[in-house]
Amino acid sequence: MMHMNWKNILSSLTIAANCLLVFFLLFYDRLVVPPLLQVIGRAHPLFLHFPIVLFALWLIWVWVIPKQRFHVSGLAEHIGEWLLLSVAFTTALTALMGVLLSKEPGYNPESLSWHKWSGAIMSLILLLWYIFYQRLSRPGIVLASLLSLAVLLVAGHQGAAITHGDNFLLAPVYKGRVKEKVPLDEAVVYRDMVQPMLEGKCMSCHNNTKAKGGLVMSSPELLLKGGKSGPVLDTSDANMSLLLQRVHLPEEDKKHMPPLGKPQLNDQELTILYNWIRRGANFTVKVTELDPTDTLRTIAGNIFRSSAEQENYDFAAAGDDKIRQLNTDYRAVYPLATGSPAIAVDFFGAAFFKSDQLKELLPIKTQLVSLNLAKMPVTDDELSTIGEFANLRELDLSFTKVTGRGLPALGKLHHLKRISLTNTAVHRDDVQQLLTLKELHEIYLWNSGVSYAEAGDIKKKYPLLDIQAGARTDTLFEKINPPVNQTAGVVISDTPIALRLKHFVPGTAIRYTLDGTDPDSIHSIVYDNRAVIDSQVLMKARAFRKGWRPSDVVQYQFYRATFHPDTVILITPTDSLYRGKGGTTLKDLVKGSQNFGDGKWIAYRSRMECMLKFPKPVLARSVTVSSLVNVGSMIYPPKSIRIMGGNDPGNMRLLYQLIPPVDTLPQSNYLIPYECKFSAASLRYIRVIIEPIGKLPPSLLPAPPPPPKIDPKAPPKKKEKPQPANDKGWFFVDELFVN
């Protein structure tokens, strides 16, 4: 009775399979199929033939073969039962596989669900049928077999539709239209935006066969013709044509279209319809012909994908795990977008590149569409691997070690659209073989073995090809930038300071002068790092470089401070806003910057008077008042500077009086030393008296006041309460140098 047991096992398994099936269907939407089972799932289309054939056999066995011949009692029965059981079993398995397969993307959900359910029902029917086999009377069997036959047909048909396209079976009999997505730049407003909606929501009634209300929408002509109640597309009509009126009527209204209960137009469809008609119901206008800001254009932007993204990849996704494994710190592997099967790979960190890292990508060679190897030490050897990536669209080999030798390996990349060979050793002839690739329309050859001229005639031969030979810079004749002063400090007190000039462009010559003249390329001193400054001078420097025009001249004022007072007493108080560090500000040898708010300056608007006291008499020849002019901020040269000196504060004589030139140019903004030279005198005390410019003539008064942000440190000019003091100009000083 062996077969008896086997039957048990088989039937148990069938039950199990069916339980599993039901279970899967219950939690269908949360089912996740691991790769391994995917394989099994994909066997579905193959496996499904077993149940069909077996079922056929069974039918024949039961209905065709005459049983009388079998003398062993029940044997016929057994064979029948066996057949039926195996049908039930294989069906269940097929159904299971189907479920697994159905989880893979790219199936039309509607026909899928039909197929799924019919298949499942088939399996269950057969199970029940088998269980109650013995119990079933002959008519029962007839019924059962007919039923299963019917279901089988349905399931089979749906299945065919899924694999071979909609309506595969009957397609020859009546022709159905298959639509694929249109790229934005081909889309026609009527054909691709309006018509589909009419087909979907109106033409079930308004078609050639039904023609409700005499209206047929199947063709523009008929649509224009309108129906019983007149033309539906009369754009001259005040309320924008009957069609719009009808769709906009309240739903309860009898005349509302589509009628209550039928699928209604959604907002977007309504907007499309409205705008299309408002624009005169043009049947031919293309989306791209519309104004970029046009509502229809905007909507279209969301409906159609521009040809750039159009690319519908026909291969399956690689699976997240695979992608995750391939990602390393130096190799980014990622899908182009959520849900896209296409994969892009970027390599980073030349130091870490190994050619195996390319081979590791072979498992995803189907999905790989964009590969970026810029700057990687890729050689011709690796190109053979790259040649394997048959679906590659974009390939970046710029700054790699590839030469023409390896390029033939890329001949198989028939989808290649864009390749960069920037800064590689490829030549005209090497490139030639790539140009035959049909899809290729961008090629980058800057700094490669291909010259501008050669690039030119390639362009002539292949006008459609976008060939990038790089920006021509060899013809430009620019001005080099000036040198930078990095000298530590500008005040020479006891020891000379080393002159530090720098130019950031290697191999650029710096020349400078100390006599106030502009440096030239012949006579002026060539800078080297031994140069020093030991006196109060104005240094002018300039950069020269082959192939460039000389730079602008830059200048720096250096100051000398021979004698150091031990105190500086401010006799008249500074302005409250700029106290600095009081008297010490003037002797601390710290130069202020043009940002006169930096605390290194003191300022006056009325007479400044201060006393320098030396530990012992000094033999002085000059006093330099280091100051600043910033007309925008009402800071001017002073009216006068007087230097008095002597060995007794009580009795001092005037040594020098300076009347600086007036400067009122609005843009003036510079540091300036006022040097007061006088015949050498032994002095213990020096008194400096400075008269600021004082009241400014209205012409100099900014009116209306310049905005505070221009002159941050000038006092607020509150219009509401005018302060008389405010029209006085400023005088700023940061150091007094005695030599």
Partner 1 sequence: MSARTLTILAAIAIGICIISSCFHHEKSAQHSNALPDVVSYNFDIRPILSDKCYKCHGPDASHREAGLRLDIADSAYAPLKNPKGAYAIVPGKPGQSELIKRVTSSDLTYMMPPPDAHLGMLTEREKKLFTKWVEQGAKYERHWAFTPPVAAPAPEVQDKTWPTNEIDHFVLHRLESEGLTPNAPADKERLFKRVCMDITGLPPTLDMMDRYLADNDVHAYEKMVDNLLSTDQYGEKMAVHWLDVARYADSYGYQDDNIRTQWPWRDWVIHAFNKNMPYDQFVAWQIAGDMAPNATKEQILATGFFRNHKYTEEGGVVPEEYRVEYLVDKTKTYGKGMLGVTIECAQCHDHKYDPFSQKDYYSLLAFFNNTQEVGYEGDVGVSKPAKMPKLAIDSNDRKHLLAFMYNKDTGTLSVSVMGERDTVRKTFLLKRGRYDMPGGEVQPHALPAVMKYDTVKYPRNRLGLAKWTVSRNNPLTARVFVNQIWQELFGRGIVKTAGDFGMQGELPTHPELLDWLAVDFMDHGWDIKRLVKQIVLSSTYRQSAVTTPEKLARDPDNAFLSRGPRNRLSAEFIRDMVLSSSGLLVRTIGGPSVKPYQPEGLWESATSGRGVLATYRQDHHDSLYRRGMYTFIKLTVPPPSMIMFDASNRDQCEVKRLKTNTPLQALIMLNDPTVLEAARVMAERLSIGHGTPQEKITEAFRRIVCRKPTEKELKTLTDYYNDQMGQFTSRKLDAAKTLSEGEYPHEKNVDANSAAALMKLITVIYNLEEAITKT
Partner 2 sequence: MEKEIIEHALRINRRKFLSRLSLGIGSVALGSLLIPDLFKGGEEESIMAGLPHFAPRAKRIIYLFQNGAPSQLDLFDYKPLLQKMQGEDLPASVRMGQRLTGMTADQVKFPLAGTVFQFNQYGESRAWLSELLPHTAKVVDDICFIKTMYTEAINHDPALTFFQTGAQQGNRPSMGSWLSYGLGSENKNLPAFCVLLSKGKGNGQGVYSKLWSNGFLDSIHQGVQFSSGENPVLYLSDPSSMTRDDRRKMLDKIAELNDDSYKEFGDPEIATKIQQYEMAYRMQTIVPEITDTSKEPEDTLKLYGPECLVPGTFAANCLLARKLSESGVRFVQLYHQGWDGHSNLPGEIKGQAKDVDQASAGLIADLKQRGLLDETLVIWGGEFGRTNYCQGKLTKDTYGRDHHPRCFTVWMAGGGVRPGVYGETDDFGYNIAKDPVHVHDFHATVLYLMGLDHEKLTFKHQGRRYRLTDVAGKVVNGLIA
Most distant pair of Cα atoms in the chain: their distance: 156
As measured in angstroms, the least distance from the Cβ of 272 to partner 1 is 18
Distance CA 507, CA 544 (A): 9
Nearer to partner 2, 238 or 351 (CB): 351
- Which structure tokens are listed for 71? 């003398």
* 200 touches partner 1 (CB under 8 A): no
Report the residue from 632, 715, 726, 727 that binds partner 1 according to the rule CB under 8 A: 715
Tokens of 317: 């996704």
Tell me the C-alpha distance between 688 and 627, whole Å.
Answer: 14
Alpha-carbon span 688 to 1, nearest angstrom: 131
* Contact by Cβ (8 Å): 703, 726: no
Report the C-alpha gap between 686 and 656 in whole angstroms: 11
* Residue where the block lists tokens 């059962």: 144
Q: Does 204 bind partner 1 (CB under 8 A)?
A: no
By CB under 8 A, residue 476 contacts partner 1: no
- Tell me the two tokens of residue 629: 């002019």
Does the footprint of partner 2 cover residue 678 (CB under 8 A)?
Answer: no
Q: Which ranges in 503-604 belong to alpha helices (H)?
A: none
Q: Which of 204, 229, 266, 306 binds partner 2 (CB under 8 A)?
A: 306
Shortest CB 442 distance to partner 2, Å: 7
- Three state DSSP letters for 126-153: HHHHHHCCCCCCHHHHHHHHHHHHHHHH
DSSP designation for 644: E
Among 708, 722, 723, 725, binds partner 1 (CB under 8 A): 708
- 491, with CB counted inside 10 A (0-12, 13-18, 19+), is middle
Which of residues 35, 666, 712, 722 is near partner 1 by CB under 8 A? 712
d(CA 216, CA 226): 7
Does residue 131 belong to the site contacting partner 2 (CB under 8 A)?
yes
- Residues 35-64 binding partner 2 (CB under 8 A) are 37
Interaction residues for partner 2, span 342-361 (CB under 8 A):
346, 348-351
Of the residues 334, 556, 674, 678, which one makes contact with partner 2 according to CB under 8 A = 334
Which residues in the 255-294 window bind partner 1 by CB under 8 A?
266
Instruction: Please report whether residue 292 would count as binding partner 2 according to CB under 8 A.
Output: yes
Binding to partner 2 by residue 468, rule CB under 8 A?
A: yes
Site mask, partner 1, residues 10-29, x = CB under 8 A? Answer: --x---x-------------
Total residues contacting partner 1 by CB under 8 A comes to 22
Part in contact with partner 1 (CB under 8 A); list of ranges 8-16, 180-188, 438-446, 504-512: 8-16
Report the C-alpha gap between 597 and 602 in whole angstroms. 9
709 binds partner 1 (CB under 8 A): yes
Nearest distance from C-beta of residue 357 to partner 1, angstroms: 23
703 binding partner 2? (CB under 8 A): yes
Q: Is the previous residue joined to 258 through a cis bond, with omega within 30 degrees of 0?
A: yes
**CB of 189 vs partner 2, minimal distance in Å:** 15
Is residue 713 near partner 1 by the rule CB under 8 A?
yes
Does position 5 interact with partner 1 (CB under 8 A)? The reply is yes
Element holding 90 (H helix, E strand): helix 75-102
Estimate the crossing angle of helix 241-248 against helix 267-278, to 10 degrees. 160
- Beta-carbon contacts of 22 under 8 Å, excluding residues fewer than 6 positions away, are 120, 124
Find tokens 């569409």 and name the residue: 369
| Position among 597, 615, 649, 666 found at the interface with partner 1 (CB under 8 A) | 597
675's contact among partner 2, partner 1, none, with CB below 5 to 8 A by partner kind, is none
CB 62 within 8 A of CB 80: yes
> Per-residue x/- mask for partner 1, residues 554 to 583, rule CB under 8 A?
-----------------------x------
Which of positions 599-658 make contact with partner 1 (CB under 8 A)?
599
Q: Which stretch binds partner 2 (CB under 8 A): 219-227, 236-244, 250-258, 476-484?
A: 476-484
Could you say whether residue 192 binds partner 1 (CB under 8 A)? no
Structural tokens at position 29: 């939407």
Helix then strand count (H, E) for the chain reads: 18, 24
User: Does 267 engage in binding with partner 2 (CB under 8 A)?
Assistant: no
Which stretches of the chain bind partner 1, using CB under 8 A? 5-6, 8-9, 12, 16, 266, 577, 595, 597-599, 707-709, 711-716, 718
